[in-house]
A and B are shown apart, each in its own frame.
Chain A
């Protein structure tokens, strides 16, 4: 079984570094223009240059999104941008507009083309169409079912699939609800997420088309057996904690599959971890069946704001057994925390003391971004994550 690529979102340089540190094999990000997350921080050309250097130094890959659907006036400066991306040696561009594919081919620009999920590829003939245009990979529609993946794989193009994160409730790219209700262009990155609103209908109850998120932990083994080349995690605007957690979970799940250790207990454990780190529940969605009413929300915005992320490790003093951390959410003496990292197996820690930066003992840490110290006998590493304990860590030999 071939180990698939884990592809993580990088809304900015901080997220990119976290993704690489926590096990991403590749990252995707957008420049200041032409990208569907128009309101993410995104990368300037100089930052892209640095990002490519950084990623390649770690022997990983970086793909750049040029995934808006262009209006004629949007093509201005596109060709020079494509040449720039080729020059700095990005590993591919994620494209949804056929015109962009055509420009890359006509100009003979040395860029690998990845067909965006916006193109709704669900069948072998569509994949063949893009393969004939020289595209290296297709990102399947999130609606793809097992039979579709199998058929598309047989035409010999690389296949990338979303495995985790928010779902468009409609086929991605086939929705302009945002345009209709808010005059914000969804297919140029301005999506106002109207599908997460509640509507009134004649029956009286709120009408909602809001989907839960995608969670593929239970299907990873099948997807690996089908030969899916790249597992993509959604969320260029998600937090570093989310990126670290999701990336690490899937890395561990893949390793467990390869070493033939995966079982239902692990699957449930990792599903629970993923459900805790986001503000929406996540379910398998389309892979085996059409999603039913359980894959949607109905009664108001049921998303939970989550304060599990306590902080990030800035340093560890082995001599004093002290963690220096940057606080993200409230905690106090007596709280039970969990610490995890790329090289730190998850462990529990009861907070016995908290010191501020001048060494004064405090009862609680209640200012986001303040730096504090807590005692910990177990060695941790810089950029390990600290969360509130909500789930018992899995204990297996």
Chain B
């Protein structure tokens, strides 16, 4: 089971710990080209045969800087690139890396996923229901990746919400902070980094109910903001085949949108 896990590395000691457990697929957020992670890595800090996460929406300078890293990626024997911006696809399409498309709110239908015929795989979005995920898996032209454990990224902005808040109120709010809707009491995690803010579900989404689906290349574990103690417990459950037990390891677990059908036509009640 653990040989199908693709896990993000969040500090330099993670690799050996996960390796010892039996995991062999690793993803590193690339410094200056990724958002929404606790730590970012230079190419030289990544192990051979690992995947690089580039999930930033690139501007014109980023494109030039990224092209300058291709040679180093080859030297480091990087296996693949997990990308969001189609500009990254355009840069790497002729290079010999395994390309994985992960535009998190757009990989929600089989036709879009099947469009990229020359790429290795796609990560199916967490925005859709269990039935929709299954439909995509059954109709995909390649094995796909399921988000298994992650905080759902709810939004990505180029603004600095917390820095701006601190300047406006002359306060010193932490760059990673929880805010709460006053009516529903629902919480979200706001994470302000240099030139971006990402917002996440406060709960960790556990998609263990999809564990026995077919046509899955990897199960993706995004370790951002999750305690390693819990991650190891979770992985040990997987190793032992105790899938149901993973749902009770910590309090703030849920199933995200897997069982939540969305509505979008509600006539007459929204102003613009």
Contact residues of A with B, CB < 8 Å?
37-40, 68-75, 96-99, 102-103, 119-120, 122-130, 132, 141, 143, 145, 147-148, 150-152, 166, 169-171, 173-177, 179-181, 183-185, 187-193, 195, 197-203, 205, 207-209, 211, 235-238, 286, 290-293, 295-296, 298
Contacts and interface: CB of A to CB of B under 8 A. Distances in A.
A202 B145 CA distance: 36
A171 B171 contact: no
Contacts of B109: 69-72, 74-75, 97, 99
B158 interface: yes
Given A176-B154, A193-B272, 13 more contacts: A74-B109, A122-B87, A126-B85, A129-B87, A174-B104, A175-B154, A177-B199, A180-B186, A209-B190, A292-B164, A296-B164, A298-B165, A298-B168
Contacts of B186: 180-181
A203 B112 contact: no
A293 B89 contact: no
Interface string B254-272: 0001001111111111111
A202 B197 CA distance: 18
Interface stretch (B12-20, B44-52, B53-61, B221-229): B53-61
What is the predominant secondary structure among interface residues of chain B facing chain A? mixed
Contacts of A296: 159, 161, 164, 168
A333 to B, nearest CB: 32
Contacts of B127: 176, 179, 187
Contact of B159 (A126, A177, A291): A291
B57 A203 contact: no
B181 interface: yes
Contact of A71 (B85, B108, B167, B182): B108
B161 A209 contact: yes
11 contacts: A39-B267, A97-B109, A99-B115, A124-B60, A126-B86, A148-B59, A169-B157, A184-B264, A190-B263, A202-B177, A209-B190
A152 B86 CA distance: 14
Given A166-B272, A290-B159, A290-B195, A181 B58 contact: no
A298 B182 CA distance: 15
A321 B177 CA distance: 64
A70 B110 CA distance: 10
B157 A209 contact: yes
Contacts of B175: none
B232 interface: no
Interface residues of B, number: 73
A104 to B, nearest CB: 12
Given A72-B132, A72-B135, A38 B155 contact: no
A208 to B, nearest CB: 8
B207 interface: no
B157 A147 contact: no
Given A71-B108, A291-B159, A293-B165, A200 B264 contact: no
A152 to B, nearest CB: 8
Contact of A203 (B128, B132, B173): B173
B212 to A, nearest CB: 21
B160 interface: yes
B178 A147 contact: no
Contact of A235 (B60, B266, B272): B272
A188 B265 CA distance: 9
Given A122-B57, A128-B90, A209-B161, A176 B115 contact: no
